[in-house]
Structure 1
Amino acid sequence: MLSLSNKHIVHALLGASLVFVSLLVYVWNFHLLPGDVFGGHHRGGPGGPPDFDHDDRCPRGSRRHGNTTYCVPREIGGVWWKRPSDATKIMGLIFYGRRSTVSILDCYLKRNLAKNGGILDGVIFLQRTTDADDLKFLKKLLASEPAYEKWEIDMSEGGFASSYDRIQDDVMYVKMDDDIVYIEDSAIPSVVTTRAEHPEFFVVSSNVINQPLISWIHWNLGAVKAYLPELNKAYPAPKPGEKLDWRPSMLPSWQGSDDFEVSEWNPPDHQKHRWLPVKGHSDHILDRTPIVETEYDPFGPGWKKWQVAAQEHYSLFENIENDNLRQYRFGTWDFQLKRMGIQFIAMMGKDINLAKPIAADDEHHFAVTMPEQTGRHAVADGGGVVSHFSFGAQAGDERIEQTDVLDRYRAYAEEYICKGPMLWDPVLDNHDES
């Protein structure tokens, strides 16, 4: 039998062992495992990283957003997002010019503000228009949200170089064109996280619908569907008081001859029209559609052809309706010094300032010149989809504006994204509102 003193020694050793094991578990759970060790990737879901950096002032599953008072979910749109360690703020940077598209984008920007559960601390609108009606709308836009601000830009020298005069080193900027008309919830967290995890990248693009090189990728991923323009029928505009249904499943099948050449087709007499799904085929489904002309070329048909853009936009509506955005997914795509589009990109302010003086062609400067000089490439992050309405080569009379694509993006945003009425309605055309 153990003596009384030996029993005390055994009990003491057992107690010390339990304390040591408890301490080890605590350190393991809360200090040794950073959130991104699970698979080494920032996309989560049920198997994503637990809430190690929980802030007692925030609900479980959220954390304090930088130096703000906002509690932001750690997982947004399936992304366990990461803030760049050297970024004091994450700001949207919008090259503003057109109320017709910005009135749609506005709903997505507000949805992505930190105060509303996103990760943008605010949004800067770069005024790049002198149109009186568009400027009137910008004033209304700024009054609608305290987190919005305006920078006036000197446009006298042309190009876009002056747009970056007020950039700050310690801010991450998510730069967007003003005709971004759809932003998946995962898009902003995903590009920000990719840049945070990979500071070796100079610039990170989102997964952009209607961007020439990425259009080629989407085609080869099978995300683009067969659509052709409706022929010989007047556009069935909604009756007064009715809303356009954006869903492609409500459309009839395309009807037309087998020798129809869409590549050179334009809507007659400036008439509005819609595009229809090509049904009833099991093979060679895309052969007669515009996407087959697309090349891995920044100035190829994917940039020039408005018909390619129309097919891509309708395909996105179909994939949204069928909960099939996974068809667009890829990891990180390195453009290997080819000219990447910068319609929706994440950059640290210090890298923008490093690139100064910026050439008038800022896209080539950021996507080609600076990656060549620094060895830090321009890449795309495939984790979240955004949609870019049109390029200048696709716009104009009897082109993309003659489709109902923008009406469909507006209808989708009104149904799912906007918290209230849009600030501008093309039907009411409230030019005279202050």
Structure 2
Amino acid sequence: MRYFGLLLLPLAAGGSVCESCRFCASLVHTQLDRAGTAQELITAVSQSLAEDEHHQRCRRYLTSDRHILQRLLTASSTPNLPAVWEALCVERLRCPAGGDLGKLSPSSPPSEERTSYQDGQATYGAETWPGKEDAKSGAKHTIVLSDADAESCDGDAESCEKESGILEAESDTPTKPPDPLNPHCAVPKDTYRDLLSTRVVLVVFSGRWDRLRILMRYLRRDLRSAGGVVDKIIFALWQVTAKDLTYLRELADSAVEDFELVDFSEQRWGPARLGADPATNRMVQLYQSLNESGTVYVKVDDDVVYVAEHAIANLVRERLRQRCLFVSANVVNHAIMSAVHQDRGAHRAFFPPARQRKNPSLRLPWKKLGEINMSPDFTIERFPASRCVVERWDCAALVHESFLDRAADGTWCIFDFGWLDFNRAGYREHKYIHRSPSVNKDYWTQGARWSTNFFAFMAEDLEGVNWNNVYGKGDDEEEFTGPHAERRDARPWG
């Protein structure tokens, strides 16, 4: 998955949130008049969303919906796109209905029972998301979920009063009974005041620049210098090409105080060897270099492509509560958590067309057949090495489609299970073969092994690790989440 790059474009004068939306709508109309391509239209709208003068509330809402516009534009036909955009302004931003949206009034008013925006969501909700081909080629992408920040009224005084009035009026409107499979996801406010004196360092196992460039928009947002909680980001060079290295060096040069490059590549350290001194092992030395007392480290894989607001802060808070040895983020498309999300009903019934199943290279859009996945073809076992997660790209595609669909309709928080002890959830008894690819060593093991895509720890948590079993990729999570935690008599994850 990937997001559009947002560029700069001057914004027409006007202070209200709705004027910003109308400006975007005018761009859409102008580009359609010019018979522009889908990509040209996407670029124009993306440019408008990146303008600094836009109100934050408008930017966040429209940015969260831009994938709907992308799906509309990449579909084989686009019925009444201006009406869909107008409805987006009215419904998502609570702009007054019936206002002049700059030549974008639909030729016929939307149905009172169902708006064009809702039709667009339903019709194109299963269309192709850019980057899904990465999952089909076997690449594993993850999404980190947590509660997001509350939207605040940051426009002018008149805009704030209008928005407050709308919210008060809506509170008197009868609401539907809550649906446990389609929750209303509130977004709390967080000032991070409790973490002002806590040093937080991210450690990104780095290489793949095409993924990392997506991750960086979230990591920059969470820097202390940008109002977040992260004091420093260490880019641990792990498996890099010349292009990766160029990107990372430019990144480090752009923020010397916040970023640091450290070379743990095989080119420098050489390949791992059975029986070698751990002092010569690059993965061992990487972890042992993270030795600042009192610092909370957060290890991040470079293929994480979405991090919710406050996710890192909440991860750090849980580690500081001293309830767990290590603390994992809530990761979508995760070896164990995918089964938990499935059991909560978070996965929807997306299914590829018959032609796609016969020939995956066609890359046809998946279709949503129902609100919950109950297909025997997509069953994720409660198992550290579930075949559906580890071996099948189509299971990853189902998970991603489900998350994106729920992000579009505001029910994404069904993925958030809060706190769960997986050591008491039926995983400990499983036995499986662990293979260390760095030294081609296979051996039987058991326990609640976790994928360490995104987890928090402190230097003292690594005391007692058997570094002789840590050779390279996969060996760290095998040692940390099983034998090491049991020797420490501590829960490895929360």
TMscore range, shorter length: 0.5 to 0.7
What residue is the counterpart of 1:368 in the other structure? 482
Displacement, 1:335? 2.0
Partner letter of residue 274 of structure 1? P
Displacement, 1:300? 1.1
Partner letter of residue 481 of structure 2? A
- Contact persistence 2:148–2:308 (CA under 8 A): no
TM-score (norm 1): 0.57
Instruction: Show the 5 A alignment for 1:173-184.
Output: 173-184=297-308
Question: 1:61-81: CA deviations, max 9, x gaps?
Answer: xxxxxxxxxxxxxxx954575
For 1:306, which of 393, 397, 412 is the aligned residue? Answer: 393
**Aligned-partner Cα distance in 2 for 1:214–1:273:** 27
Structure 2 residue 163 is the aligned partner of structure 1 residue 163: no
What residue is the counterpart of 2:223 in the other structure? 113
- Contact persistence 1:84–1:196 (CA under 8 A): no
What residue is the counterpart of 1:217 in the other structure? 340
Higher relative contact order (CA 8 A, sep 6+): 1
Identity of aligned residues (%): 26
For 2:383, which of 273, 292, 297 is the aligned residue? Answer: 297
What residue is the counterpart of 2:33 in the other structure? none
SS in 2 for 1:312: helix
What residue is the counterpart of 1:278 in the other structure? 369
Max Rg structure:
1
Structure 2 residue 200 is the aligned partner of structure 1 residue 99: no
SS in 1 for 2:236: strand
Partner letter of residue 300 of structure 1? S
**Aligned-partner Cα distance in 2 for 1:99–1:266:** 32
Displacement, 1:128? 0.9
What residue is the counterpart of 2:493 in the other structure? 379
Displacement, 1:310? 0.7
Partner letter of residue 118 of structure 1? G
- Contact persistence 1:82–1:196 (CA under 8 A): no
What residue is the counterpart of 1:151 in the other structure? 262
**Aligned-partner Cα distance in 2 for 1:204–1:81:** 19
What residue is the counterpart of 2:276 in the other structure? none
Question: 1:244-275: CA deviations, max 9, x gaps?
Answer: xxxxxxxxxxxxxxxxxxxxx4644x344432
- Contact persistence 2:240–2:265 (CA under 8 A): no
Displacement, 1:355? 2.8
Displacement, 1:319? 1.4
Instruction: Show the 5 A alignment for 1:177-216.
Output: 177-197=301-321, 199-216=322-339
- Contact persistence 2:326–2:457 (CA under 8 A): yes
Partner letter of residue 368 of structure 2? P
Displacement, 1:289? 6.6
Displacement, 1:357? 2.6
Partner letter of residue 313 of structure 2? P
Change in Cα spacing, 1:106 to 1:289, as seen in structure 2 (3 Å) is: farther
Partner letter of residue 342 of structure 1? T
Instruction: Show the 5 A alignment for 1:398-417.
Output: none
What residue is the counterpart of 2:113 in the other structure? none
TM-score (norm 2): 0.50
**Aligned-partner Cα distance in 1 for 2:319–2:193:** 9
Displacement, 1:207? 0.5
Change in Cα spacing, 1:145 to 1:278, as seen in structure 2 (3 Å) is: farther
Partner letter of residue 225 of structure 2? K
What residue is the counterpart of 2:350 in the other structure? 227
SS in 2 for 1:190: helix
What residue is the counterpart of 1:316 in the other structure? 403
- Report the more deviating stretch, 76-85 or 352-361: 76-85
**Aligned-partner Cα distance in 2 for 1:346–1:357:** 19
Instruction: Show the 5 A alignment for 1:256-271.
Output: 265=357, 267-268=359-360, 270-271=361-362
SS in 2 for 1:92: strand
- Contact persistence 1:94–1:125 (CA under 8 A): yes
Unaligned runs of 5+ in 1: 1-41, 47-75, 234-264, 381-434
Question: 1:1-52: CA deviations, max 9, x gaps?
Answer: xxxxxxxxxxxxxxxxxxxxxxxxxxxxxxxxxxxxxxxxx99999xxxxxx
What residue is the counterpart of 1:133 in the other structure? 243
What residue is the counterpart of 2:417 in the other structure? 330
Partner letter of residue 365 of structure 2? R
SS in 1 for 2:329: strand
Partner letter of residue 276 of structure 1? K
SS in 1 for 2:229: coil
Displacement, 1:134? 1.4
Change in Cα spacing, 1:112 to 1:267, as seen in structure 2 (3 Å) is: farther
Q: CA RMSD in A?
A: 2.9
More strand by share: 1
**Aligned-partner Cα distance in 1 for 2:311–2:305:** 13
Change in Cα spacing, 1:225 to 1:150, as seen in structure 2 (3 Å) is: same
What residue is the counterpart of 1:68 in the other structure? none
Displacement, 1:157? 3.8
**Aligned-partner Cα distance in 2 for 1:290–1:79:** 41
- Contact persistence 2:147–2:308 (CA under 8 A): no
**Aligned-partner Cα distance in 1 for 2:373–2:347:** 9
Displacement, 1:276? 2.6
- Contact persistence 2:292–2:459 (CA under 8 A): yes
SS in 1 for 2:260: strand
Question: 1:342-374: CA deviations, max 9, x gaps?
Answer: 101000122235536362200011111211001
Change in Cα spacing, 1:315 to 1:201, as seen in structure 2 (3 Å) is: same
Aligned positions, number: 271
Partner letter of residue 386 of structure 2? G
Partner letter of residue 196 of structure 1? L
SS in 1 for 2:286: helix
Shift >4 Å, 4+ stretches: 42-46, 76-85, 230-233
Change in Cα spacing, 1:210 to 1:43, as seen in structure 2 (3 Å) is: closer
Instruction: Show the 5 A alignment for 1:69-84.
Output: 78=189
Unaligned runs of 5+ in 2: 1-145, 151-186, 273-281, 424-446
**Aligned-partner Cα distance in 2 for 1:44–1:277:** 26
- Contact persistence 1:169–1:351 (CA under 8 A): no
Change in Cα spacing, 1:137 to 1:80, as seen in structure 2 (3 Å) is: closer
- Contact persistence 1:206–1:345 (CA under 8 A): yes
More helix by share: 2
**Aligned-partner Cα distance in 1 for 2:265–2:209:** 20
Question: 1:281-335: CA deviations, max 9, x gaps?
Answer: x7xx52337532x011111122222111111111111111112122012232112
Displacement, 1:208? 0.5
